[in-house]
Structure 1
């Protein structure tokens, strides 16, 4: 039973904001428990920014779904131990515990706490048998750092002798860049696995989530701790090695080298190698054998889905030779068949972060899909008897369908149709959007390049590099690859390719992916989709579009697209992203692997057969990660309806709100952006009318029409001349710019208000003070919207 003094104190405490509760009670209690406020306590930590919603050509973030922790408590930077969720004193001690526990689970932490300033509710995910999982603690009884570090070590199975390695600090650069929460998870789980003696480690992280940065931090900590003194980073494409060398791995400085000139130089500690450069079919090519089997302590295999785990692959030979080293496989797409299995070789992933998770969190760009069916693909085509192709060869008499197009049958009109449809989309959005067109093979990529040149017209005439074929055999095209992926370089804009750009190429600003090739491999499909998943806010890239001419995007509906990898005992994919290892290993400029022409396959090239689009459908990523057909208006309607059950309820809240902008901001948190709605409904309508029309089907009035209705009521007559002039000017401002403009006090610094005096002169002279001015403004808004319920 509270005493009278305690009851009064409780009443006063309940008047405090959540921020006040943190400052006055929670933070002091944590500090008194021995936590270093500068080094171990982080306040208001955004774990995820919230997903980007895309509908039509518009996008916005749903900030309502962002993950935001009030406190993250860490043992050392990058080593979180616990989450503390704060609530104001009107809530119970444990009301924030479920939220804290949710964050603790995604960070894989054993400790979650909640507080309202009276004490702490605690959840211990490492509770022993018979021990209570949830307890309540007095405000002065919060656990000290050592207690939660001991709990963390128990939870993750870290032995005393491994503590030094696990505690090894991250690399922190001058910019203050910190790993994202899932990168911290991936790094820490890998380090902890290695500390426990695990020799084979697999990390599965979706394309665009920063696998190379994560790899760098893993290597850095192992290297600095002395656990790994010589490290080999293996990749199978020059661009992957070169990007790594100059970007994420740059802090290694003089300790790092790229293996070249057929030599592994023992003077360096960090070695970056193209596997084709250190092995080959002949014994003399196997330069990795020029060093001892224990030369490397750590080997990291980038994009390890491409055959490294296959018993007969060249990579496997290197791994077997250095079998005493710790080996870490990195992939976005674990390849699991009877013949190639990452899991069989590396074991289950120590951490997995999928494309679906990345999109839901808001770190990866969502996509919209434009599926286009061409009549010759769907209905099929049979040549008339005795028909010859453009070269005079007799066209085989059978039915040709989608899988034959550009593999065995080339219909030039179909190629032209695809190119024209691509350019139609780019002209309607942004003709300078970086675009990758995936073709069946090199021949198809070249014909598509020509077709794009013709469809682009002046765009291609003004710059010959507007479209380039970038394939493994094209010296000119590959020379432009760095510029294509550089956000600062406008050209090339469009790249036609077959396989070279399927993986590893960091094309941040790629906004359009065109699929005009048959895809049977889920691995390849994931890699192709991965070319567009990076968000680049600096260049206004928040989503990307997939234009699918071959029904490849049906793979999105396959549970395997974003599911857990399992070994499938069936023949390996014939549509593997990378063909056999190239034989040329004589120099550093190894030819990157790319698609080859199907040997012994004859193509019939026919020019006179027409082709047309028979069906087109647009789909978007839904809240469940599945594709849905939905407009931005439909999305906005659902979001508004989830907040307000009826038109009357919305109108009541609108009229009761002292600041209409507060409602607008609340809806923006859900991804409902008024500018986007105005694009679909009309720019002359006010915020209120846009919302009630889209959500409830009410007939909208323009801002000007609402302003005229107010003027006809002549309610201004009760005010003095100066006040009436101000209110009439505010009404005109509403008609021009909307309610948020007149709610901003800065409006009084604009014309025509400046002719009436300074803002303070207007507020005091015309209305008698701030309270009276704000009351007059609310009455003006009531006049604007007050009749809405009766309309």
Structure 2
């Protein structure tokens, strides 16, 4: 049967008309295309959506055809439509994809001809199928329109690095690399790349370095980071293909006469001597420069990459800026997820406007970054606590009479029961979900982090007995904790599970498997807040991490409502307009993000008040679950139980309606599955309400219709008192007795499944087939189960 063009599907149009027209001019190696067999043309992973505890992915974005100059440079998108649409119908979709992929030409076709949008000229036109442009035509138009220099052509022709352990760049990484290389080839010497945490800044930096070294445009590269872990991660992971030409600078051992034999150098630009990262050992800018002068001349490096450039290099009087100015002849690239733009500090002032930005919102929308939900825990003192007249702390010291707020807790006053309640809530959540879920607890001070470690240790003693590193404090002054950092961030290492910290884990550390972030410190800096949220944004789908949870005890997540959360990067309007100087700590202008070890007494010379449970009893009054979109916009915010009640009542308008639906359900698990579609996990909610011994039937009736619940044991015992069982004897009676005991322990869903008959204690009765015979056959067995269910639920609450 021969189909007319109007009857053909889109795939038919592609196969018979569009593909032949493109292949007539293009080499197949320069084309990726979506076909029913070949699906590798997706360029996003598909956004992850959270509904309660249920996660799902949207479809990824896929282009019908992507045409490449080479493996590193796409030049055109072609979108296909069936012949019932016009030639230009797919052009808007092609333009959307072209803008995402940073390509200059977008085409669409329905098999009758092509429509084109040229991003260089802004013009659109249509032409016949045999007039589709060749690679040479597009290349010439691209070169002429963009005024490509010989240096640019050199980097365009140089492909990305590909190797066995190196994944192909994602579209935004390719964009970032190509934009950066183009700017460098055109002579730009200060560049800023803004990419959200978890989007592969270091991998992007490696591809930039690789292609510049391969083309010979750069020969000596310095990669600056402010923490040992960031340097070591980079060398061992993303920069591994260059390991033979990499050197980690050691100022106490290196010699000027031998150090020049490498191509890529890694160095700390905060603590330039030794392995410790205590702020007390940070040297003056003059000492830092002297160390570099001892090894390198001013023009030694022709490329410098500044990792996490928001931390020190943004500030004009910082040690780090002095190093950059010493090597001022080198091209310098600042990389950060959170550029710092304040009245006194500016990345843009030094590096210029970003050559490329990829935000957390874009990462979440594309499915490359994990979405999140927020649990706000409200205590009875969240609005503040005031001591009674003359009240003394546990050591007999009188407590200053004033209102203490979240800003004071654990800094100016210690409320022991508050710490215990926070630790208990964290433990409760992990017990309900996954006790091996990697968790970071951000605390106000290092002392607070140690106290939280002890509380969590004691509340999880059963887990600590299995491994003493279940809970570890990882802070700047804790040598043991820092020695466990690599294990904490490792995907393959189970322990430590919970890390309590102050500032050390707020930036940089690649915490791929973190599923729970606990906020128990006040945060006012948007930069720091973004960095902390970034600790959870990495996805590890194979290991089961699709989203993460933020548990907030201080209403820090109010910052999601701030326009700065994921807004455009703009220089502060008053930058440089005031001669005032902000206080500079021992870190020489590090932005105040070093570890906080201060005791912060409320009155100088007086000890910090310590109030025990008798002096201040703290209670968790309620929790609110909030779901945000990637822009920080609140999608919904409801009390957990209210959310459950409203969704149940949407599905079952009255108690009688629910009971009828429950009775009619062939398998009761269908009710549970239906509620899961609304994001309601009954088991988790029952655990949260300390009602694990209650049947789902009773729990639903209790939550939605205010009925007093019976426990499973009470329901089972009511059945055992009735005559229902007396009509069965022998094996059949024993099986039913055993099923009732199973119901007491596990619930209705298990006894509905015939697979339960393969487990103890049913194995003593023989195979499931033999057990069915004891009832008179398979149908009679199912009738008995149905009758048992009816008896169980005759006693509705």
Normalised by the size of structure 1, how large is the TM-score? Answer: 0.75
What does residue 22 of structure 1 align with? 14
What does residue 297 of structure 2 align with? 292
* Correspondence 1:345 to 2:350: yes
Q: Is the 8 A contact 2:317 2:589 kept in 1?
A: no
* Correspondence 1:442 to 2:446: yes
Deviation of 1:675 (Å): 9.2
Deviation of 1:46 (Å): 0.5
Q: Which ranges in structure 1 are unaligned for 5 or more consecutive residues?
A: 1-7, 584-591, 639-672, 684-696, 698-734, 738-750, 753-791
Instruction: Map 1:618-633; keep pairs closer than 5 Å.
Output: 618-622=625-629, 625-629=632-636
Deviation of 1:463 (Å): 2.0
Deviations 1:179-199 (A, max 9, x none): 111111111110111111100
Q: Is the 8 A contact 2:31 2:65 kept in 1?
A: no
Question: Aligned partners of 2:241, 2:321: CA distance in 1, in Å?
Answer: 29
SS in 2 for 1:597: coil
Aligned counterpart for 2:248 among listed residues 258, 261, 264: 258
Deviation of 1:154 (Å): 4.9
Question: Aligned partners of 2:241, 2:51: CA distance in 1, in Å?
Answer: 41
Q: Is the 8 A contact 1:162 1:195 kept in 2?
A: yes
* Correspondence 1:48 to 2:44: yes
Q: CA RMSD in A?
A: 3.2
Question: Aligned partners of 1:419, 1:573: CA distance in 2, in Å?
Answer: 40
Q: Is the 8 A contact 2:344 2:582 kept in 1?
A: no
What does residue 523 of structure 1 align with? 527
Compare 21-30 and 386-395 and name the one that shifted more.
386-395
Question: Aligned partners of 1:403, 1:633: CA distance in 2, in Å?
Answer: 30
Deviations 1:265-322 (A, max 9, x none): 1111100111122793274553111211110000000000002121111110110011
Deviation of 1:172 (Å): 0.8
* Correspondence 1:513 to 2:517: yes
Deviations 1:157-201 (A, max 9, x none): 532453112322111112562111111111111011111110000
Aligned counterpart for 1:321 among listed residues 326, 330, 333: 326
Question: Aligned partners of 2:549, 2:531: CA distance in 1, in Å?
Answer: 15
What does residue 281 of structure 1 align with? 284
Aligned counterpart for 1:227 among listed residues 211, 214, 217: 217
Question: Aligned partners of 1:573, 1:417: CA distance in 2, in Å?
Answer: 41
What does residue 668 of structure 1 align with? none
Instruction: Map 1:211-250; keep pairs closer than 5 Å.
Output: 211-250=201-240
Question: Aligned partners of 1:680, 1:383: CA distance in 2, in Å?
Answer: 41
Question: Aligned partners of 1:461, 1:386: CA distance in 2, in Å?
Answer: 43
SS in 2 for 1:244: helix
Q: Is the 8 A contact 1:84 1:100 kept in 2?
A: yes
What does residue 460 of structure 1 align with? 464
Instruction: Map 1:294-313; keep pairs closer than 5 Å.
Output: 294-313=299-318
Instruction: Map 1:394-473; keep pairs closer than 5 Å.
Output: 394-473=398-477
Q: Is the 8 A contact 1:304 1:329 kept in 2?
A: yes
* Correspondence 1:37 to 2:28: yes
Deviations 1:314-356 (A, max 9, x none): 1101100110100000000000112210000000000111111
What does residue 369 of structure 2 align with? 364
Instruction: Map 1:39-78; keep pairs closer than 5 Å.
Output: 39-43=30-34, 45-63=41-59, 66-78=60-72
How many residues were matched structurally? 633
Deviations 1:743-764 (A, max 9, x none): xxxxxxxx99xxxxxxxxxxxx
Q: Is the 8 A contact 1:57 1:429 kept in 2?
A: no
Question: Aligned partners of 1:312, 1:573: CA distance in 2, in Å?
Answer: 10
Question: Aligned partners of 1:343, 1:297: CA distance in 2, in Å?
Answer: 21
The verdict on how the C-alpha distance between 1:582 and 1:495 changes in structure 2, with shifts beyond 3 A counting, is farther
* Correspondence 1:123 to 2:129: no
Question: Aligned partners of 1:193, 1:475: CA distance in 2, in Å?
Answer: 43
Deviation of 1:550 (Å): 0.8
Question: Aligned partners of 1:491, 1:367: CA distance in 2, in Å?
Answer: 23
Deviation of 1:49 (Å): 1.8
Deviations 1:652-710 (A, max 9, x none): xxxxxxxxxxxxxxxxxxxxx97942874999xxxxxxxxxxxxx9xxxxxxxxxxxxx
Q: Is the 8 A contact 2:302 2:329 kept in 1?
A: yes
Question: Aligned partners of 2:582, 2:566: CA distance in 1, in Å?
Answer: 21
Question: Aligned partners of 1:411, 1:143: CA distance in 2, in Å?
Answer: 73
Compare 76-85 and 253-262 and name the one that shifted more.
253-262
Instruction: Map 1:111-260; keep pairs closer than 5 Å.
Output: 111-127=105-121, 133-154=123-144, 156-175=146-165, 177-260=167-250
Q: Which ranges in structure 2 are unaligned for 5 or more consecutive residues?
A: 274-281, 647-672, 684-703, 705-751, 755-767, 770-797
SS in 2 for 1:402: coil
Deviation of 1:470 (Å): 0.3
Q: Is the 8 A contact 1:96 1:114 kept in 2?
A: yes
What does residue 482 of structure 1 align with? 486
What does residue 82 of structure 2 align with? 88
Q: Is the 8 A contact 1:582 1:593 kept in 2?
A: no
Aligned counterpart for 1:553 among listed residues 554, 557, 562: 557
